[in-house]
Amino acid sequence: MVGQDERHVPVLLQDAIQYLNVRPGGTYIDATLGMAGHSSAIARLLGPGGKLVAFDRDPEAMAIARENLARLAQELGAEMPRVELIDEEFSTAGEKLQVASVDGILADFGISSMQLGEAHRGFSFQADGPLDMRMNPRIGVTAAQVVNRADEKDLANLIYEFGEERRSRRIARAIVRARPIATTAELARVVAACAPTMKSERHFIHPATRTFQALRIYVNGELDEIKALLEQAPGLLRPSGRLVVISFHSLEDRLAKDALREGAKQGIYEILTRKPLTATAEETDRNPRSRSAKMRAAERIEQDTKFTAEDSSWQGSGPGSSHRGTRRK
């Protein structure tokens, strides 16, 4: 693990910290800890009276983050805030924190450079490895199990829905014929053989890119995780607390955009980014993966909130009080 954090560059770091508006002594959630790039920046601003709660279900990322935060604690000494690391899905935030107890929530939904760079994790076709793709390798089905067990129709639907791949039926048919498929390179070859290379506005896309995205999203239940966090956020945030989310493809960004717009319509949020912020040319040159990043932010409008333990829901008594966000159990 030594040196892996050196390859990691937090995306839209300065913008995210600016819009999060970190208050010394406040309580903040980093829903996607990764290797603690964003968390370290937050911790530097919190001071000894502050608290950072960070989630990550990836045990390898959590181990690196612990080391990085330990080094930060040595550097900051008495100025280091309290830090609570939770090695679970961020959808459990509503179970771990009290209602209206948080001053800000930051979520970077992208896959990390470390995950992509480790062949044994099976996230990328750039290096051959077992077809795994689980962010938490301790639980759940692998991508190989999905690829080799799903029927052709379900596989095509999965690739179309989560990969937005128009050639999903053709790809699913080729996968079924090529079974068994055990590695990332095998899957990439199968897809490339049946689907030509696509060209976007700015760069060429490997023909297997969307299929790999679809499998990763499905295996990790990523969209359900995002939905759960977005539903919980209004109940967790204090008045004037902020929500900052960074997405990397249209499915993620659509969920964030719709949640913030609905929140604004219901009188829950003031949207701070009318259009999503994107990386500068300088940042994309330095960190190519930031090219597809989009950041949205909103501030919790002051409302009286109350928590109903009976049904684990929150209600606002101000404008838009008919809105109810259910905390996931």
pTM of the entire predicted model: 0.88
Residue 149: which CATH number? Answer: 1.10.150.170
Average confidence (pLDDT) over 196-208: 73
Q: Alpha helices, DSSP H only, in 222-269?
A: 222-236, 250-265
Residue 27: which CATH number? Answer: 3.40.50.150
Tens of pLDDT, residue by residue over 59-113, are 999 999 999 999 999 999 999 999 999 999 999 999 999 999 999 999 999 887 7
Tens of pLDDT, residue by residue over 275-325, are 999 999 999 888 888 889 999 999 999 865 443 333 334 443 333 333 333
Average confidence (pLDDT) over 205-214: 95
- Beta-strand runs (E) in the chain: 27-30, 51-55, 82-86, 102-108, 198-199, 204-205, 237-247, 269-271, 294-300, 305-308, 313-316, 324-326
Q: How many domains does the chain have?
A: 2
Quick one: 216 and 232 in the same domain?
no
**Domain-terminating residue out of 166, 192, 220:** 220
Average confidence (pLDDT) over 190-195: 96
Quick one: 108 and 133 in the same domain?
no
- Percent of the chain exceeding pLDDT 70 equals 88
Quick one: 55 and 181 in the same domain?
no
> Between 127 and 108, whose confidence is greater?
108
Quick one: 64 and 208 in the same domain?
no
**Domain-terminating residue out of 190, 220, 250:** 220
135: containing domain: 120-220
Quick one: 229 and 108 in the same domain?
yes
Comparing 62-66, 197-201, 202-206, which segment has the lowest mean pLDDT?
197-201
**Domain-terminating residue out of 220, 250, 270:** 220
